Amino acid sequence: SQQGEEDPQALSIQEGENATMNCSYKTSINNLQWYRQNSGRGLVHLILIRSNEREKHSGRLRVTLDTSKKSSSLLITASRAADTASYFCATFRWDNYGQNFVFGPGTRLSVLP
């Protein structure tokens, strides 16, 4: 079953605006990661936030994590046309079976020039 669920499924904004994507999950986690995928390419890691962290920044990216609500958000500030891509959250935890690394279905972001 899907662990991470992104919201919205698709988002279209103008260049310069901020883009916010949300991710919800169901079980306890060790960390949550956000990845980006350009059309026809593999995923690229953007940022990782551990379960004991609440907020993290990397350039124009800001990630928050609320473990009590089992949710995370990714904010991209001052968006550019080059930010057009699909964005995936992925939860990671160790369980009785070993690694449990689960991706959500993704948010398709379109940044219009």
Partner 1 sequence: NAGVTQTPKFRVLKTGQSMTLLCAQDMNHEYMYWYRQDPGMGLRLIHYSVGEGTTAKGEVPDGYNVSRLKKQNFLLGLESAAPSQTSVYFCASSYPEAGADTQYFGPGTRLTVL
**Whose CA is closest to 58, among 36, 74, 41?**
74
**Whose CA is closest to 52, among 81, 31, 76?**
31
Closest separation between CB of residue 68 and partner 1, Å?
19
**Whose CA is closest to 109, among 61, 70, 71?**
61
Closest separation between CB of residue 14 and partner 1, Å?
26
**Whose CA is closest to 30, among 79, 73, 65?**
65
Judge contact between 34 and 74, C-beta under 8 A: yes
* Region from 36-44, 54-62, 63-71, 75-83 binding partner 1, contact rule CB under 8 A: 36-44
Interacting residue with partner 1 among 13, 20, 22, 48 (CB under 8 A): 48
* Region from 12-20, 38-46, 61-69, 70-78 binding partner 1, contact rule CB under 8 A: 38-46
The phi and psi torsions of 11 (rounded to 5 degrees) equal -145, 130
- Residue closer to partner 1 (CB basis): 15 or 30: 30
Q: What type of residue is 90?
A: A
- Residue closer to partner 1 (CB basis): 15 or 61: 61
For position 41 contacting partner 1 by CB under 8 A, the verdict is yes
- Residues interacting with partner 1, by CB under 8 A? 2, 4, 30-31, 33, 35, 40-45, 48, 50, 88, 90, 92, 97-99, 101-106
